[in-house]
Amino acid sequence: MHSLDAHAICFKKFRERKGDPMSDPIPPPVAMKSPVMALGQLLLILLFLFAGGWAIRHYVLSPDGFHRATNAAASALAPSSRVRAIVPTNAIVRTVDLLKGLDLDTATVYGRWAVRDGAIVSDTDAATRFDLGYCPPAEYDLRFSFARLSGTDGIDTILCYGGRQFVWTMAGWANTVCGFTEVCAEPADHNPTTVRGDWFKNGQRYSCVIKVRNNRVAAFLDNQLVSEWVTDYEDLASSSRSLQRTDTLGLSTWESSYAISSVEIVEISGKGVAKLPGDPQEATEIAVCTYQVGDRGAVNYAMYSNGRMKSPEGEELWFLQGDNLIFRFGDWVDTCTLASDRRSFEGSNRNGERIFGEVVSGGL
């Protein structure tokens, strides 16, 4: 064999033994992406990132988003037929610190309140309360943090819609009841918003959010929905925790000492207004009706937009739910039915006596 041929055979075997890349097959060419394909993939990635950020912002971080994630837990606490999300009507909100600059001497309505370690602390009297001196817009969130220091009873939040005050009670009736009061003249322990449980432990801090909207009100405790009521607010009223005014917000405690560390309002629709006790009430007279029990003489009652009767500051209350017209005179509750023309009504009191009357001016 020629020496050149022998060298060629040896070199070939060497390359095969060493796996020389020169002896490997040529790989197929890599497909190059067109500029249009690359741009499309980039847009898809950006769209995915935007959608993820939107979901986090609206379902995790937004003021109203947390209850979407806790509906399953909240449904065990609230009347299931009334659990619905409450969504702000606009995205422009303002948060107001209601304790900043509060003068306790002026604000206190009953009992004794003191500032201790940065918190406002109540005594252990019944219905100890103070007026926050603030008339809210129609829609708002009221948020506050608190702890019960001693005692076994509750804390009440005096709320307002359209000048009509009502109350959210927590841990009332010896720590057993949460609910709105009064619903059609029924207290918090005996109406459709009542939720029973073992609520507070002394020394533990809690947070409450109450969301007031045009067609419903809902209360949350530590981010869980406790109770909700669908309403036009004519079926809600209260005079049991009266403040210096009938159109402001306030807080009250019952035979227990509470430390309230923060109170703020998130204004959802418009701005609230600071109010002094002597400022004029803005309630308007909406109707005057005659009212008669049995064969006794008829009397005239003026009915005001804030749910009061006789005067805007009166203690007598009226409630309206559908055709049910309810009058409350202290502990005495009279229930009537409006006629189809809504100009007359008839019913009975708890003694079975006939009640009747008519709307002589204005309308319900």
For the chain, the domains span 40-69, 70-274, 285-362
Residue 68, pLDDT > 50, answer no
CATH topology agreement for domains 70-274 and 285-362: no
Instruction: Read off the pLDDT of residues 96-155 as tens digits, 9 standing for 90 and up.
Output: 999 999 999 999 999 999 999 999 999 999 999 999 999 999 999 999 999 999 999 999
pLDDT higher for 77 or 225? Answer: 225
Domain 285-362 adopts which CATH fold?
Lipocalin (2.40.128)
Residue 29, pLDDT > 80, answer no
The pLDDT, as a whole number, for residue 54 is 54
Closest-CA residue to 170 (of 239, 221, 105): 221
pLDDT higher for 49 or 111? Answer: 111
Residue 57, pLDDT > 70, answer no
pLDDT higher for 15 or 305? Answer: 305
Closest-CA residue to 169 (of 219, 225, 234): 219
Residue 4, pLDDT > 70, answer no
Query: Could you tell me the pLDDT band of residue 73, with boundaries at 50, 70 and 90?
Result: very low
How far is the C-alpha of 189 from the C-alpha of 208, rounded, in Å?
19
How far is the C-alpha of 24 from the C-alpha of 29, rounded, in Å?
15
Instruction: Read off the pLDDT of residues 252-273 as tens digits, 9 standing for 90 and up.
Output: 999 999 999 999 999 999 999 9
Long-range contacts of 289-295 (CB under 8 A, 24+ apart): 289/345, 289/357, 289/358, 289/359, 289/360, 290/357, 290/358, 290/360, 291/327, 291/355, 291/357, 292/355, 292/356, 292/357, 293/334, 293/349, 293/353, 293/354, 293/355, 294/353, 294/354
Instruction: Read off the pLDDT of residues 296-352 as tens digits, 9 standing for 90 and up.
Output: 999 999 999 999 999 999 999 999 999 999 999 988 899 999 999 999 999 998 888
How far is the C-alpha of 66 from the C-alpha of 58, rounded, in Å?
9
Residue 49, pLDDT > 70, answer no
The pLDDT, as a whole number, for residue 39 is 66
Residue 45, pLDDT > 90, answer no
Query: Could you tell me the pLDDT band of residue 37, with boundaries at 50, 70 and 90?
Result: low
Query: Could you tell me the pLDDT band of residue 86, with boundaries at 50, 70 and 90?
Result: very low
The pLDDT, as a whole number, for residue 17 is 45
Residue 15, pLDDT > 70, answer no
Averaged pLDDT, 6-30 = 44
Which of the following CATH numbers is that of domain 70-274: 2.40.180.10, 3.90.1150.10, 2.60.120.560, 1.10.357.10?
Answer: 2.60.120.560
pTM for this one? 0.74
Residue 359, pLDDT > 80, answer yes
Question: Coil, strand or helix: which one is 279?
Answer: coil
The pLDDT, as a whole number, for residue 71 is 34
Q: Range with the lowest mean pLDDT among 49-53, 55-59, 68-72, 352-356?
A: 68-72
The pLDDT, as a whole number, for residue 52 is 58
